[in-house]
Each structure stands twice: as C-alpha cells, then as structure tokens.
Amino acid sequence: MAEPTLDCSDLDNYMGKPMQPARMVEPFANNDIRRWVQAMHYPNRLHYDTNYAMQSHFGQLIAPQSFPVTMDDGHGSAPSCIGHIPDSHMLFGGDEWWFYGPRIVGGDRVWNERIPFDYTIKETKFGGPTCFQRGDNFYYNQHGDLIAKQRSTSIRYSQAAGQASTPTDNQDDPVWTDEQLEELEVRKYSWIKMLHDLGHSPRYWDDVKAGDELPERVFGPHSIVSFTTEWRSYTFTQWGSMHRRTDLNMAELGFTGPMAGPEQDPTEEKNNPENTDGAYIGPSRGHLFPRWARFIGMPRGYGYGASMGAWITDYFAGWASEWGMVRHSACNYRSPALTGDITVTTGKILDKFVDEDGRHMVQAECRMENQLGIALATAKAEIELLKRPE
C-alpha cells in the first residue's frame, strides 16, 4: 500500500473568513430541550420538569449549558471542517467552551457565527499525516447577547489509511450479564441521586476544597439505538428545521465515495430528505452502521464527539447546582464511545480562587473512560459557584 498523503493546501483559502450561516427556521421549544437532555442521559429536572423548574431561581424551564451545539448544522464542526482535503474523513478531536451568562429558554432563537481559525499537520499512528483543524463558533440569542463561544477541533485524515488501521480484535459488542446490568443501574442512580439531593440548593464555594472528588457518573451500555436517539436530538437533523447552507458539498470537502452523500443538501431535502439527514447516507452514517464505521477506521458503531462534549459540560454543571455555572472548559477527545461499552466519568477539584471579576471559582478536571479503563476524553474547567452569605 502506498504511503498516505494529505493535501491541505486548500484550507488556506478559508482561514479567518466568516462562513455562510445556517439558521433555525423557528424558535426552540421546551420539547426540543427535553429531547436533548433525554438523549444526553442528563435527568436534571431543571431541564424537563416544568413544575420543578418553576420553583427554581430561574422561575421557568431552562436549557442546559450544553444545548447551543444542537442548533449548528455541523454540531460545532463546520468551521473546523472546511476546505478540500482529497479522499479524507474527519472525527471530532476536542472542544473549548466559554460561557458568558445568558441562559436559553423556550421561545429563544439562537444563531451561530462561524469563523475557521487555524490548522496544523501531524503524524499519527491511526491515519499517518493528519490535519488538526480548529474553528470558532459564536452562539447568539435573538437579543444579540453572546451566549457561548466554542472552539472546535476536527481531526481530518486519509480515509484509506484509517480503513487500513481498523482494529480487528474488538468488532463485536461486549456481553453484559443481567447481574452486571443491574449493578450498572445502581451506579447510574448514585449520580442522579446527587442531583435530587442538591435540589434547588446552591453548592457553596466555601464548602469545597482542592482535592475533593466529584461523584462518579455512569451511563450505557451504548448501542445503535442510543446513538440514534442522540443524533435525532440535534435539532438540525430534523427535516426542514434550518435554512440550509447552499455552499455545503460533502464531496468538495474531501469525503470519499459512499461517505460523501448529500448530507444537509437543501435541494435534496425538498426532493428526498432521507438522503440528507446523515443517519443513512453521508459522512455521519459510520456512527450507526458498523460496515461504514470500519470503512473509516472504527471497529463498530461509535458515538458523536459533540455528545461527548455535552456529557462533560453536563457533568460539571450538574455538580455545580442551578446556582453555579461552567464558565470555561477545554476538552480533549481521545477515543470514541463504542456500542456495547459504558462511559464512566470521574473528577476532582484542583483549585479554588476569586478571579479578576470577583467571581468565586473552582478549577476542576474530569476523565471519561470505558469499562476497560481506556480513556475516552479528558477535560479541565473553571466553574463559578455561589459564595455563602456572610
């Protein structure tokens, strides 16, 4: 087999230039928020139980901090996956988030301004020459308030090289006994109970210290069904939900052969929308079909990088209570969640401080791994907590 090559010369034509927007047709509804937290395994009543949310200090049901990514037509990857790289594929490599304060509620409109940022090429065992490309997403509400900024990293590599390196020893889902599944449900509920125990109470900055362990969060086993549920919770995957970009052509981005497809194509959406939503045809089909997963180097069906980023944000935000807020996080995705595996998240407090704006902050880290201890993602975050009244 010839050595893989990666021609990234076209990317220079896009760096620093705003992209064509793709905006929602209608405002978000509360059921869009409910669908999201259900798919993200995040049973925080603040985001789905109207009566409970009305008793919160918000006085209404609100979206979780992880929600903005649902409306972008590439779940944040668009500005980090632009420019023609022939015969390539892409995976999510990480996200950095900054949150500025406004919360999303039903009836809001959110749009995203997107600007490609930079790229670099490195040698990897997985794909040979590999492009690590970054792009910025600025999420605004209908009032012009900046809700969040996301700097997304895409990993773009030779599809042939990825296929050639597909693992052959873990293409079957692990088998879980009934007893093991029952034990998992107990572990899962411990984190849910933490949310219930907090209720509407603050987690005070005064009560935490460096070295404190964050509670374990477990969910899974993942499956084609759970990944499909995730995909359908991204609002942009719904037919007719967005004013689609007219400059998006998967083949022109370098996706090859059966992975190109007319995903997100506004003309084909009017003709035959099943060709356009990504579940069946196009680059996203590898998540839900093991055959296409192996075509791009994955052993079996695998999860979405943007979902992994949401799991991390929700992990920190749920612990912080409804009075806290994740202000910044930097997440590195190291291996995707695979069907049949579970995801276990643990974390701890690294530091606590008062920032230059007088906010009471903690720095925390988390690690996401599967049942074998293989790292899926790592992250660090700065989280604002409420100071106990004097």
Cα torsion for 199, 205, 208, 211, to the nearest 10°?
Answer: 130
Cβ-in-10-Å burial (0-12, 13-18, 19+) of 287 comes to buried
Residues 129-149, buried b or exposed e (16+ Cβ, 10 A)? bbbbbbbbbbbbbeeeeebbb
Q: Is residue 5's pLDDT more than 80?
A: no
Statement: the pTM of the whole predicted model exceeds 0.85? yes
As a whole number of angstroms, the distance between CA 293 and CA 389 comes to 53
What is the chain's mean pLDDT, rounded?
A: 93
DSSP reduced 3-state for 266: helix
Q: pLDDT grade, residue 311 (50/70/90)?
A: very high
Which residue matches tokens 């460096």? 210
The residues that bridge with 380 in the sheet, in sequence order, are 330, 365
SS3 content of the chain, % helix, strand, coil (to 5): 30, 30, 40
As a whole number of angstroms, the distance between CA 84 and CA 119 comes to 13
CB 17 within 8 A of CB 79: no
- What the block records as the tokens of 54 is 């009305």
Q: pLDDT grade, residue 151 (50/70/90)?
A: very high
H-helix or E-strand spanning residue 351: strand 343-354
As a whole number of angstroms, the distance between CA 41 and CA 230 comes to 9
Summarize pLDDT for 74-84 with one digit per residue, the tens. Answer: 888 899 999 99
Residue 247, amino acid:
D
- Residue 62 Cα to chain centre, angstroms: 19
**What single-letter DSSP state applies at residue 21?**
P
Q: Is residue 1's pLDDT more than 60?
A: no
As a whole number of angstroms, the distance between CA 158 and CA 179 comes to 42
Nearest CA-CA partner of 302 in 217, 218, 370: 370
Summarize pLDDT for 127-140 with one digit per residue, the tens. Answer: 889 999 999 999 99
- What the block records as the tokens of 322 is 């409804």
As a whole number of angstroms, the distance between CA 61 and CA 173 comes to 38
As a whole number of angstroms, the distance between CA 38 and CA 290 comes to 24
**In angstroms, how far apart are the furthest CA atoms of the chain?**
70
**What single-letter DSSP state applies at residue 282?**
S
| pLDDT in the model for residue 192 | 97
Pairing of strands 325-333, 375-384: antiparallel
Lowest model confidence (mean pLDDT) among 88-97, 164-173, 195-204, 257-266:
164-173
Cα torsion for 344, 201, 49, 339, to the nearest 10°?
Answer: 0
- Residue 237 Cα to chain centre, angstroms: 15
Lowest model confidence (mean pLDDT) among 18-22, 57-61, 116-120:
18-22
Helices in the chain by DSSP H: which ranges? 30-39, 50-54, 159-164, 178-198, 224-233, 250-253, 266-271, 290-295, 305-320
List domains and CATH numbers for the chain. 9-166+200-384 (3.10.129.10)
